[in-house]
Amino acid sequence: MDHAIYPTIKDFLLDIYFLLNLLLLNRCRNIAKLLYIHMLGYPAHFGQLECLKLIASPRFTDKRVGYLGAMLLLDERQDVHLLITNCLKNDLNSNTQFVVGLALCTLGAIASPEMARDLASEVERLIKSPNAYIKKKAALCAFRIIRRVPDLMEMFLPATRSLLTEKNHGVLITGVTLITEMCENSPDTLNHFKKIVPNLVRILKNLILAGYSPEHDVSGVSDPFLQVKILRLLRILGKNDAEASEAMNDILAQVATNTETSKNVGNTILYETVLSIMDIKSESSLRVLAVNILGRFLLNNDKNIRYVALNTLLRTVHVDTSAVQRHRTTILECLKDPDVSIRRRAMELSFALINGQNIRSMMKELLSFLERSDAEFKAHCSSAMVLAAERHAPSNKWHLDTLFRVLLKAGNYLRDDTVSNTIQIVSSAPAERQAYAAMRLWSSLERSAVSGDATEKQPLIQVAAWTIGEYGDLLVSEASNAISMVDEDGVDDFVRPSEEYVIDIYQKLLWSTQLSITTKEYLLLSLAKLSTRFTTQPSQDKIRVIIDTFGSHIHIELQQRGVELSQLYRQHAHLRPALLERMPALEPAADAPDRAPDASPVHKPEQDALLDLIIGSDPLTNGDVEHKPAPAPNNNTSNDILDLLSGLELSGGGGAPSLLNAVSDAPAPAPVVSAAPALLLDGLFGSAPTPQAPAITQDLPTVTALDKNGVRIVFGISRGGDTVTLTMRATSSEHLTEFLFQAAVPRTFQLDMMSPSGTVLSPQGEITQVLKITNPSRTPLRLRIRVSYNIDGTPVLEQTEVNNFPPDLFN
What phi-psi label fits residue 778: left (phi over 0), alpha (psi between -120 and 50 degrees) or beta? Answer: left
DSSP codes of every residue in 719-763: EETTEEEEEEEEEESS-BEEEEEEEEE-TTSEEEEPPPS-S-B-T
CA 735 to chain centre: 51
| Confidence (pLDDT) at 764 | 77
| Confidence (pLDDT) at 331 | 92
- Cβ burial of 396 (10 Å; 0-12, 13-18, 19+) is middle
Radius of gyration of the chain, Cα coordinates, nearest whole angstrom: 40
Q: In this model, does residue 688 exceed pLDDT 90?
A: no
DSSP 577: H
How many helices (DSSP H) and strands (DSSP E) are in the chain? 34, 11
CA distances to 630, 658, 716, 751 from 647, rounded to whole Å, are 19, 10, 29, 17
Q: In this model, does residue 693 exceed pLDDT 60?
A: no
Confidence of residue 579 (pLDDT cuts 50, 70, 90): confident
Residues 794-809 have pLDDT tens digits of 888 888 888 888 877 7
Residues 216-261 have pLDDT tens digits of 778 888 888 999 999 999 999 988 888 888 899 899 999 888 888 7
- Cβ burial of 478 (10 Å; 0-12, 13-18, 19+) is exposed
Helical (H) or strand (E) element with 68: helix 60-73
Residues 666-680 have pLDDT tens digits of 333 333 444 433 332
Give mean pLDDT, residues 597-620: 35
Residues 60-115 have pLDDT tens digits of 888 888 888 888 887 666 666 677 888 888 889 989 999 999 999 999 988 888 88
| Confidence (pLDDT) at 533 | 86
First vs last Cα of the chain: how many Å apart?
Answer: 100
641-802 fold: Immunoglobulin-like (2.60.40)
Give mean pLDDT, residues 2-12: 54
Residues 628-687 have pLDDT tens digits of 333 333 333 333 333 433 333 333 333 333 333 333 333 333 334 444 333 322 332 333
Residues 388-432 have pLDDT tens digits of 988 898 888 888 889 889 988 888 888 878 888 888 889 888 888
CA 313 to chain centre: 23
| Confidence (pLDDT) at 9 | 63
Rounded to 5 degrees, what are φ and ψ at 725? -105, 120
Domain residue spans of the chain? 434-598, 641-802
CA distances to 153, 402, 408 from 382, rounded to whole Å, are 51, 11, 10
Give mean pLDDT, residues 693-708: 63
**Stronger pLDDT, 75 or 506, i.e. the higher one:** 506
| Confidence (pLDDT) at 2 | 46
Residues 6+ apart with CB under 8 A from 106: 67, 70, 71, 84, 88
Give mean pLDDT, residues 166-177: 90
CA distances to 157, 344, 467, 704 from 376, rounded to whole Å, are 51, 10, 29, 57
CA 516 to chain centre: 25
Angle at 426 between CA 424 and CA 432, to 5 degrees: 150
| Confidence (pLDDT) at 176 | 93
Confidence of residue 139 (pLDDT cuts 50, 70, 90): very high
Q: For 417-468, where are the E strands, in sequence order?
A: none
DSSP codes of every residue in 758-784: -S-B-TT-EEEEEEEEE-TT-PPP-EE
Residues 264-289 have pLDDT tens digits of 888 899 999 999 998 888 888 888 99
Q: In this model, does residue 318 exceed pLDDT 70?
A: yes
What phi-psi label fits residue 582: left (phi over 0), alpha (psi between -120 and 50 degrees) or beta? Answer: beta
d(CA 809, CA 775): 10
**Stronger pLDDT, 524 or 668, i.e. the higher one:** 524
